[in-house]
Homo-oligomer: A and B are copies of this chain.
Amino acid sequence: MSTTDEAFQGHYLTNLSVHTVLFTIIESELVMCARERTEGPFRFHWELPGANPRMQESLEAAAHRSLSEIVHGSSAILQQLKVFGEPDRDPQRRSIAVCYWGAIAPEHLQPQPPVVSAIHALAESERFAFDHRTIAITAIAHLKRALCNSSVVTDFCPTTFSIRELHRVYEVVFGTEIAAGNFQRKVRSSPGFITKTNTPPASEKGRGRPAEIFTNSRRVEVSPPFHFPHDS
């Protein structure tokens, strides 16, 4: 059995990492947390948050740890995205990346979070380290699918929110205008999607009719799902 043929558990060249694609919306744009590398290979390229799982640490816990310098207190809800393990994905060694994704309200991030526009990930122009552009694009596709099929949109919002805020998330992510009336009907008629609060209509600045304030309960499936022009 040659070196290149053997199973590689325990092989010193192998590496197991966890990476996280954390979405939020800043200034009406879908962005994901990422940092520019300052050293080593792929210097000046964008890199997704990552961590190496510890011996007694679950992969999901490692994913949360990869965000420790980015999220502000309350932890994000993460879901497995995919494993990327092509032999050549890391030019230095065989490396397996278990990837997670999630969304979070910008209020829960550190003040000046390092982010990159999702549109840049889709454009060929932006340079990502390793296969992180592929990971990002896969995550965007999962995000769109999840938005259509579940109430994950509430992860983008603070604990209380108006329907309009949910509406804006969909418009930003799908880059399309959505009729507000139909959106209200759909969200309100999906059992468990939102829960009305009796908090007074928010002390926000408002120059129109104040919105009702809701909170998310559990994650629910939307059936039949939302349907938008899908470019992915």
Chain A residues close to B by CB (< 8 Å): 3-16, 52-59, 80, 82-83, 85-87, 94, 96, 98, 223-225, 227
The distance in angstroms between the C-alpha atoms of A6 and B57, with both chains bound, is 10
Most buried by B among A9, A12, A14, A54: A9
The distance in angstroms between the C-alpha atoms of A87 and B61, with both chains bound, is 11
Known: A83-B83, A224-B227, A227-B223. A96 touches B55 (CB 8 A): no
Q: Is B55 in contact with A8, judged by CB distance below 8 angstroms?
A: yes
The residue that A80 contacts in the complex, of B4, B13, B14, B82, with Cβ under 8 A, is B82
The distance in angstroms between the C-alpha atoms of A87 and B54, with both chains bound, is 9
23 A-B residue pairings within 8 Å (CB atoms): A4-B54, A5-B54, A6-B55, A7-B52, A7-B54, A9-B14, A10-B10, A10-B11, A10-B12, A10-B14, A10-B15, A11-B55, A16-B16, A55-B87, A56-B87, A57-B87, A58-B86, A58-B87, A59-B83, A80-B82, A83-B98, A223-B227, A224-B224
Q: Is B85 in contact with A59, judged by CB distance below 8 angstroms?
A: yes
Q: Is B85 in contact with A58, judged by CB distance below 8 angstroms?
A: yes
Report the nearest B residue to A86, measured CB to CB.
B58
The distance in angstroms between the C-alpha atoms of A85 and B17, with both chains bound, is 12
Report the nearest B residue to A223, measured CB to CB.
B227
Known: A9-B15, A15-B9, A225-B224. A85 touches B56 (CB 8 A): no
Chain B nearest CB, measured from A78 CB (Å) = 13
Report the nearest B residue to A89, measured CB to CB.
B58
